[in-house]
Amino acid sequence: MTQAETTPRTGKRVLLAKPRGYCAGVDRAVQTVEEALKLYGAPIYVRKQIVHNKHVVRTLEAKGAIFVEENEEVPEGATVIFSAHGVAPEVYEQARERSLRAIDATCPLVTKVHQEAKRFAAEDYDILLIGHEGHEEVIGTAGEAPAHIQLVDGPDGVDKVTVRDPNKVVWLSQTTLSVDETMETVARLKSRLPLLQSPPSDDICYATSNRQHVVKEIASECDVVIVVGSRNSSNSVRLVEVALDAGARAGHLVDFAHEIDDTWLVGATTVGLTSGASVPDELVQEVLAYLAARGFTDVDEVVTANERLTFSLPQELKRDMKAAAARG
């Protein structure tokens, strides 16, 4: 007899979203810290949280990573890794001044937005950067061309925008925004600035849009959608908002299964489950086990895309790994 045949059917089910969890940029950033620890030994300093996830940060701390806010906290000559969210050029400069061995784990899709910002600034455009004020990624991107970039924090930020020449304006965005809200912001910007140009390719990354797309597919069938992710993870917070906008009766963000409040499940027959791009799947499996213990034993995985993208490790790390391998 199969397990399905022995498990009593309760009529309670989980719709498990796929894609969910780790994206290529997060996977590369976490591997960068792990490989650097193996190669250079502990401690390895990491400027800011390598990715916005409590569990990942704690796990890397246990292996010898030390998370700091700024380069000044890193001893001269030590190794520092810059997080997946990217940094402004002055941060590389500070690292050089302190003779730090800097390894850049910025996601290549964030670097792409930095390159766009530099290019449009060099052509003297006004750049409207749609994003969340204070988010590390936005600080890093804006730092590429502070004189040309102004932040537009959602549709309500549109009225504050002023530009020098309405014929020479482009919008760019943070990679982890809500696709729908960003389009609303762009529509409002265009009603004020009809000649506003769009980025050469989407700035909201594939992982963010794929995770939002599948949540939209399942949301209307769900009494509650649980998103595994941390509160400072922009793409995770957006998933809860997207689920609610798409018809979920309730939505909650949790770092760990034990944070689930059983009252959320009262009267529920369908629970949606997904996770942000910085969340290892073991945390989702723990939530599945938690739900199974409460009668949600049927799990249907709803798949809307298969992701195969991977990024290679930062050049500076690969070079040192190769040299170490050659030394034997």
Q: Which residues are near ligand SF4 by CB under 6 A?
A: 23-26, 84, 107, 109-110, 175-176, 205, 207-208, 235, 277
Question: At 234, which amino acid appears?
Answer: S
Which is closer to ligand SF4, CB of 239 or CB of 273?
A: 239
Which is closer to ligand SF4, CB of 109 or CB of 225?
A: 109
Distance between CA 149 and CA 127 in Å, rounded? 5
**Least distance (Å) from ligand SF4 to the CB of residue 159?**
28
**Least distance (Å) from ligand SF4 to the CB of residue 51?**
7
Which is closer to ligand SF4, CB of 27 or CB of 126?
A: 27
In DSSP terms, 316 is beta-bridged to none
**Least distance (Å) from ligand SF4 to the CB of residue 169?**
24
For ligand SF4, the nearest residue by Cβ is 25
Burial class, 93, CB count within 10 angstroms (exposed 0-12 / middle 13-18 / buried 19+):
exposed
**Least distance (Å) from ligand SF4 to the CB of residue 90?**
22
Which is closer to ligand SF4, CB of 46 or CB of 169?
A: 46
Distance between CA 34 and CA 278 in Å, rounded? 15
Q: Single out the catalytic residue among 35, 116, 136, 137.
A: 137
Which is closer to ligand SF4, CB of 110 or CB of 186?
A: 110
List the one residue out of 103, 178, 168, 110 whose CA is nearest residue 144.
110
Classify the phi-psi angles of 99: left when phi > 0, otherwise alpha if psi is within -120 to 50, otherwise beta: left
**Least distance (Å) from ligand SF4 to the CB of residue 105?**
9
Distance between CA 144 and CA 291 in Å, rounded? 46
In DSSP terms, 151 is beta-bridged to 129
Active site residue 137: yes
Which strand ranges, in their side-by-side order, compose the sheet holding 298-303?
Answer: 251-254, 224-228, 270-275, 13-18, 298-303
Contact status, residue 160 vs residue 136, Cβ threshold 8 Å: no
**Least distance (Å) from ligand SF4 to the CB of residue 106?**
9
Contact status, residue 75 vs residue 52, Cβ threshold 8 Å: no
Distance between CA 245 and CA 243 in Å, rounded? 6
List the one residue out of 325, 321, 305 whose CA is nearest residue 313.
321
In DSSP terms, 300 is beta-bridged to 15
Which is closer to ligand SF4, CB of 243 or CB of 265?
A: 243
List the one residue out of 302, 305, 259, 240 whose CA is nearest residue 23.
305
Distance between CA 293 and CA 162 in Å, rounded? 55
Provide the annotated active-site residues. Answer: 137
